[in-house]
Amino acid sequence: MVGYAATARLRTDDPPVAGRLYHHRTEWWNSILQVPAPRIAVVEDMDKPPGVGAFLGNMHAVILKAQGCVAYVTDGAVRDLLRVRDLKFQLFAGNVAVSHAYAHLFDLGAAVKIGGLEVKQGDLLHGDRHGILSIPKEVATEIPAVAGKLQRTEQKVIDYCRSKEFSVGKLRQVMKNFR
């Protein structure tokens, strides 16, 4: 998945300072819509340890998807995994929790840190089953061509290794051409 980060911070271990329930805190929706689509909700869990409760479950996944989000990224927890999977909505999380606890968002649009990766509102992100990375916007248009060339080069090595002509000596030559 690829998209632009809509950031916030989260606490789940104490009730919110304002608005008794997370349902009362709808201003994040406007913050998300300030980011171009496709969007990725990126939420840093400030609890120590993170993941006491999970902001995102089925309902919030549906809300985020309706706002053009393709994924939710957090160092905290998520829940309702089977229902969210059925939505084809991507989740990247530190763990899974059974409850939302006292989930509440704050610092909307702030720079956050997820697993050592600093993410700012509007950053271009890419994620797959291996994790999340930030893509500098100035090189984003070059990525398809570079990735295609790398994929074709790697395929030559793979094809050679699967061939009946394989030898370590020839592999060395193939790898020299890899660069």
Dig out the tokens for 8 from the structure: 């916030």
pLDDT band at 177 (very low <50, low <70, confident <90, very high): confident
Instruction: Please determine, for residue 61, whether its predicted confidence score (pLDDT) is greater than 70.
Output: yes
Instruction: Please determine, for residue 19, whether its predicted confidence score (pLDDT) is greater than 90.
Output: no
CATH of 2-135, one of 3.30.420.40, 3.40.50.280, 3.50.30.40, 3.40.50.2300: 3.50.30.40
Give me the pLDDT at residue 21, please. 56
- As a whole number, mean pLDDT of residues 13-20 equals 66
Please name the helix (run of DSSP H) or strand (run of DSSP E) that holds residue 144, with its range, or none. helix 143-162
**Which residue in 69, 73, 84, 87 sits closest to 10, CA to CA?**
73
Average pLDDT, the chain: 91
Q: Where are the domains of the chain?
A: 2-135, 142-178
Q: Which residues contact 118 (CB under 8 A, 6 or more apart)?
A: 111, 112, 134
Percent of the chain with pLDDT over 70: 94
